Structure 1
Amino acid sequence: MSSSTALPARGSRLAALVVGLCWLAVLFDGLDMFIYGSVLPHMLEQKALGLTPGRAGDLGSYATFGMLVGALTAGTVADRIGRKRLMVGCVTLFSLASGLCAVSGGVAVFGLGRTLAGVGLGGLLPTAISMVTDYARGGRGALTIGALMTAHHAGGILSAYVAKWLVEPVGWRSAFWICVVPLLFVPVLAKAMPESLSFLVAKGRDEEARALAARYDVELPAAPAGKNPADRWSALVGLFRGGEWVQTLLYWLASFGGLLLVYGVATWLPTLMRGEGYNLGSALTFVVLFNLGGIVGMLVAGRASDLFGAPRISAIWFALTAAGVFLLSVHMPLALTYTVVFLTGVFLNSAQTMIYATVSIRTTPDSRATAVGWTSGMGRFGAVFGPWLGGQLLAADRGDWGFTAFALAGVSSMVFIGIAALRSTKQSSRGGSTPQELLTAG
C-alpha cells in the first residue's frame, strides 16, 4: 500500500483517538458533576458531616460557582499554556478535589473540595470542545461535538450506578474515592493527546502544526486575527449598542433560567423523588433515565433545529421541559414516572444548548464568540442559584415546591428566548438579515 493511501486511514484512526480521549475526559467530568446529587439522599438520611438540606444546597452551589470560575478563565489559561496541558490540569484538579471530599471531616473541607472540583469541571468542557473541533473530520464538526456531549450524560448515568452499588454497603465516601480513579487516566492523556492545532498556529509553531495536520489528515486552521483586549471589550460593548441591549439581556435571562433548571434538577432530582415517596433505588434509576434522555436529546435537538430553527426548538423544548418537571411533583404510576423523567431529560438537556445556537445564529460573525461566551457566563449564575434554591425550599420544609420552582424557571426561559427570537425576526424583516439567514434561524 502506498504512503498516500495509508496516510488518510492512519489520520482517521488518530483523529478518532483524540475524540476518544476527550470523550473519556468528559465522561469523568460528568461522573464528578453528578455524583454529589446521586449520593445526596444518603448523606442527608445519615446526616453525614452534619448536613442539612440548606447546607446541602449551598454545597451544590459551590461546585457550580467553581464551574463559573473555570469556564470564564479556561480560554485565557489555554491561550497561555495550551489546550492539552489545560485538559490534563483540569482532570487532575477535579480528581484530587474528589479525594479531598472523600477524606473531609466537616462541611468546610468538603465545600472546598467541591469548589475546586467545579473549577476543573468548568475548564475541561470548553477546552475539550475546542480540541475535538480542531481534529474533527471535514464537515463533521457539529456531529463530533454532539457525540462528545453524550459523554457528560454517560457520566451522569455512571454516577447513579456508583451510588447504587457502593453507597449503601460501603458509605458515601466510597463514591468520591471512585471519582479519584481518573487520575490513572492522566498519564495516558498527557502522552497520547496531541496539542491543539489552533494553539500551535496562534503561537507561531508552524512547523509543528503542519506536521500534526499532515499526521492527522486534517486541514490546518488559519492564523487568528489576534484581537487585543480592547478589541474584545469593543465586541462586548457592541452587544449593548442601540436596541441590541434588550436582545442581549433577553438571551442572558433565558440562559440564567435554563442553567438554573439544568443544575437544580441535576442536584436535587434523587432527593426530590425520594420526597415524593420513591425508594433510593428508584430515585437513582431516575438519574439514569434522565441522562439517557439527555443523550437522545443532544442527538435529536440539532437535527430538529436544522429543520425548524434553533429559536423555535429552544422555546418548544423549554415548554415541554417545564411540563415534564411539573408533572414530577405528581405521584404517578412508576412506569409513567419513568417515561416522564426520560422525556424531561430529552428536552431539558438540549434546550439550553439551543439558546447558544440561537445566539450564534442571530449575531454577526465579528461578535459571535463574545455573544455566546457572555450568554454562557451569565447563565452560570443560574447554575449557582439552582442548587441553592432547592436546598432552601427543602430547609423550609417546602420540598413539594421544588419541582414547581424549577418548572417556572423553564417557563421563564421559554418566554425570554421566544421574545428574543420574535424581536430578532422583526428586525431582520426590516433588512437586518438575508433570507437565507432567516431560513436557517427559523
Structure 2
Amino acid sequence: MSSSLAPAARGSRMAMLVIALCWLVVLFDGLDMFIYGSALPHMLEQHALGLEPSMAGDLGSYATFGMLVGALSSGTLTDLIGRKKMIMSCTALFSLASALCAAASTVTVFGLGRTLAGLGLGGLLPTAITMVSDYAPRARGAFVIGTLMTAHHAGGILSAYVALWIVEPLGWRAAFWVCVVPLVIAVPLVARYMPESLSFLVAKGRTTEAHDLAARYDVEIPAAKDPQAAGDRWYALAQLFRGREWIQTLMFWLASFGGLLLVYGVATWLPTMMRNEGYELGSSLNFVVVFNLGGIVGMLVAGRCADRFGAARISAIWFVLTAVGVYLLSVHMPLGLTFTVVFVTGLFLNSAQTMIYATVAGYSTSANRATAVGWTSGMGRFGAVFGPWLGGQLLANGAADWGFTAFALSAVFSTVFITLAGLRMSRRNPEQPAARSVTATA
C-alpha cells in the first residue's frame, strides 16, 4: 500500500519517523539529565550513600563533565560509526550507567555512573540534531530542531513525576532503575526503524545505498564533503582568532560559560533550593514541571523573536529577565505567584542560551559556522561543570539563599558579554540580518 503514495508523502512519513524516534531518545536524555536533581532532596534527607550537600554538588558536576567530553568527542566517533549507531550507543550507555547508579553501594560508584551517563548524554544530543537535520522537510530545519529540543524539557517534566510517584514510596534507587527503560524500548526501536544518516553514507562513499534510500523516501542527498575537510577543521578554528576576531570569540565563550552555569546549576539544585526556602517536597518537584513547561514555550517563541529583532538582542534581554526571575525565587511568595515566576524564569532561561548559539551562527561564515558554534558550546560546558558544584558548596556552607543570587549574577555575567558581542557586531556590520532562530542546543 505504501508504494501507491506520492514520493513527497513517503518522504514526509520518513521524516516524521526519524524525528519521532529522535524525539523519543532526547526525551529519555532529558529524563536522565534531570532525574538526579529531582531525586536529590530525598537522597539528602535520607543521607543516601552518606551523601552530604558538598558531595552532592560534586556528583552533579560529574555528569556535566561527562557531557563535556561526550559532546567534544561525538563528532569524531559519529564519523567513524555513523549517526544511527552513535544514537544507539549513547542511549545504551546512559541507560546502563543509570543501572550502575541504581545499584551503587558507595558514592564513588554512584559518581562513576553519573560520569558515564554524562558521556552518553553529551554525545546523543548533537548526533540527534544532525540526524533530524538530514531528514527535516525542506525549509523547516530550524523548526524541526526547535521541536526536538522540547523533548529535553519534557524529560525534565517526566523526571519530576518519577520522583513524585516512585521515589517517595520506593526510594531513590527506583528512579534510576526507571532510567534504564530506554535500553529496552528506545534502542530496539532505533535499531529496527531508523535509517542511517545520508550525509554519513555519502561521506563513507556508500553512494549506491544513499541514492537508494533517498529515492525510496524522496529526500535530497547532501553534497559530498571536500576530501581535505579534516584539515579545514583546524583552519576554521584558526579563523576564530585571526586579527582581532579573538575578542569576539572570547565574548561568545564567556557568555556561553555563564549561560550553561546557570542552566545546569538551576537544573540540579532547583528542587533542593526551593525546599530549603520552606516549600514542601511535592511543591518543590512541581516547580521542576513548571520550569520545564516554560522551557518548552521559550524554545518555540524565542526563535521567532530573534528572527525579527536579532538573536544577540533577544539573548541579552532574556538573560536580564532570567536574572530577575532567579533572584525573585529567593523571596518567599504566595505559592501561585511563585509558580508563575518559575514558569517565566524557565521560559527565558533555557532559550537565552540557545540564542547565544543562534548569534554565533548568524555571525559566522559558512566555512567556519559549525566550528564556531561547536566550540562556543564546548567552552560553555565548563560552566555546566561549575554550576552544580557551586550550588553544592553554597548549600554545604549554610548559604543556600545565596544560591539564587549567585545564579542570578551568572545571568548578568552572560548579559554583559552577549551585549558587548552584539554591539561589536553592529559596529562592524550595521546591516547584518538577524541570526538564525535555532541552530543548536545547550
TM-score in terms of structure 2 length? 0.97
CA distance in 2, matches of 1:3, 1:297: 40
Question: In structure 2, do the counterparts of structure 1 residues 439 and 73 end up closer, same or farther at CA, with 3 Å as the change threshold?
Answer: closer
Of 182-191 and 404-413, the range deviating more from structure 2: 182-191
| Partner AA of 1:332 in structure 2 | M
| Partner AA of 2:397 in structure 1 | A
1:369 alignment counterpart: 370
CA distance in 2, matches of 1:226, 1:62: 37
Question: In structure 2, do the counterparts of structure 1 residues 4 and 165 end up closer, same or farther at CA, with 3 Å as the change threshold?
Answer: closer
CA distance in 2, matches of 1:224, 1:166: 49
Q: Could you tell me whether the CA contact under 8 Å between 1:60 and 1:387 is conserved in 2?
A: yes
CA distance in 2, matches of 1:177, 1:370: 37
Of 420-429 and 58-67, the range deviating more from structure 2: 420-429
1:144-182 CA distance string (max 9 Å, x none): 101100000000000000000011111000000000011
| Partner AA of 2:308 in structure 1 | L
SS in 2 for 1:417: helix
Equivalence map 1:39-58=2 (5 Å): 39-58=39-58
Gaps of 5+ in 1: 430-434
Question: In structure 2, do the counterparts of structure 1 residues 188 and 441 end up closer, same or farther at CA, with 3 Å as the change threshold?
Answer: closer
Equivalence map 1:223-262=2 (5 Å): 223-262=224-263
1:170 alignment counterpart: 170
Equivalence map 1:43-442=2 (5 Å): 43-185=43-185, 186-429=187-430, 435=431, 437-438=432-433
Q: Could you tell me whether the CA contact under 8 Å between 1:103 and 1:173 is conserved in 2?
A: yes
Of 2-11 and 344-353, the range deviating more from structure 2: 2-11
1:308-335 CA distance string (max 9 Å, x none): 1101000000000010000000000000
TM-score in terms of structure 1 length? 0.97
* Sequence identity (%): 73
CA distance in 1, matches of 2:238, 2:265: 31
Instruction: Report the CA distance between 1:427 and its aligned residue.
Output: 1.5
CA distance in 1, matches of 2:287, 2:254: 28
CA distance in 2, matches of 1:59, 1:6: 52
| Partner AA of 1:374 in structure 2 | W
Q: Could you tell me whether the CA contact under 8 Å between 1:362 and 1:441 is conserved in 2?
A: no
Instruction: Report the CA distance between 1:238 and its aligned residue.
Output: 1.5
1:432 alignment counterpart: none
Instruction: Report the CA distance between 1:11 and its aligned residue.
Output: 2.3
Q: Could you tell me whether the CA contact under 8 Å between 1:327 and 1:340 is conserved in 2?
A: yes
CA distance in 1, matches of 2:358, 2:92: 31
Question: In structure 2, do the counterparts of structure 1 residues 232 and 62 end up closer, same or farther at CA, with 3 Å as the change threshold?
Answer: same
Q: Could you tell me whether the CA contact under 8 Å between 2:251 and 2:417 is conserved in 1?
A: yes
CA distance in 1, matches of 2:344, 2:358: 21
| Partner AA of 2:59 in structure 1 | L
SS in 1 for 2:331: coil
Instruction: Report the CA distance between 1:10 and its aligned residue.
Output: 2.4
Question: In structure 2, do the counterparts of structure 1 residues 439 and 82 end up closer, same or farther at CA, with 3 Å as the change threshold?
Answer: closer
| Partner AA of 2:7 in structure 1 | L
CA distance in 2, matches of 1:5, 1:264: 49
Q: Could you tell me whether the CA contact under 8 Å between 2:42 and 2:167 is conserved in 1?
A: yes
Instruction: Report the CA distance between 1:231 and its aligned residue.
Output: 2.1
| Partner AA of 2:320 in structure 1 | A
CA distance in 2, matches of 1:113, 1:341: 30
1:196-233 CA distance string (max 9 Å, x none): 01000111111111111122221111111234443222
Question: In structure 2, do the counterparts of structure 1 residues 282 and 225 end up closer, same or farther at CA, with 3 Å as the change threshold?
Answer: same
1:32 alignment counterpart: 32
Instruction: Report the CA distance between 1:366 and its aligned residue.
Output: 1.1
Instruction: Report the CA distance between 1:357 and its aligned residue.
Output: 0.3
Of 293-302 and 225-234, the range deviating more from structure 2: 225-234
Gaps of 5+ in 2: 438-442
Count of residues paired in the alignment = 436
Question: In structure 2, do the counterparts of structure 1 residues 7 and 67 end up closer, same or farther at CA, with 3 Å as the change threshold?
Answer: same
1:2-57 CA distance string (max 9 Å, x none): 95753322222121111000000000000000000000000001100000000000
